[in-house]
Structure 1
Amino acid sequence: MGKNVRIICGAKTRKGETCKALAVVGKKRCKHHGGLSTGPRTPEGKAAIAYAQRARWQVYREKVSRRENSKGF
């Protein structure tokens, strides 16, 4: 597949269905589901994203730890 091939977005809509719009060229999502997003640009925005990621990974690690402990490892 080439770089400029546009795929179907596939994001989950509020109805629970998948989005059928074409994705932005070179991305996996359409313009309505984050395909045009450039990410955080300000130091505050970058810090907020970093904090959210750390919190998310902490929750994930706790879940994995609990799962492993319940298996008897």
Structure 2
Amino acid sequence: MSGSHKQTCGAKTRRGTPCAAPVVQGMARCKLHGGLSTGPRTDAGRASIAAGQRLRWRTWRERLKKNDP
């Protein structure tokens, strides 16, 4: 077995297949699927992300309770 094994992105594409593009060094995804993202930089951006996460978790917990037998 010779040759290098490059890590691929693996993000789900619109066709439903995993992306075969190489990942950005030090990241888990290719440049097209968020590998170049630096995340929120400003305090307002961080607050927005945190608020969205709280809303998603609250919705998830409510849906889980509603479906619990």
Q: Answer whether TM exceeds 0.5 for this pair.
A: yes
Give, in whole Å, the separation in 2 of the partners of 1:45 and 1:51.
10
SS in 1 for 2:49: helix
Structure 1, unpaired ranges of 5+: none
* Per-residue CA distance 1:40-60 (angstroms, 9 max, x = gap): 001111111011101100111
Distance 1:6 1:64 in 2: 39
- State the 1:10 CA deviation: 0.7
Q: How many residues are aligned here?
A: 65
CA contact (8 A) 1:27 1:35 kept: yes
Q: Cα gap change, 1:6/1:49 in structure 2, threshold over 3 Å: closer, same or farther?
A: farther
Q: 4+ runs of 1 displaced by more than 4 Å? A: none
1:1-48 deviation digits (Å, cap 9, x = unpaired): xxxx74110111122221100111222100110011110001111111
Distance 2:30 2:47 in 1: 26
**2:44 aligned partner, one-letter code:** E
Q: What TM-score, normalized to structure 1?
A: 0.77
> C-alpha distance in 1, partners of 2:58/2:28?
27
Q: Which residue of 1 aligns with 2:11?
A: 11
What is the rounded CA distance, in whole Å, between the counterparts of 1:7 and 1:62 in structure 2?
Answer: 37
Task: Give the root-mean-square deviation of aligned CA atoms.
Answer: 1.5
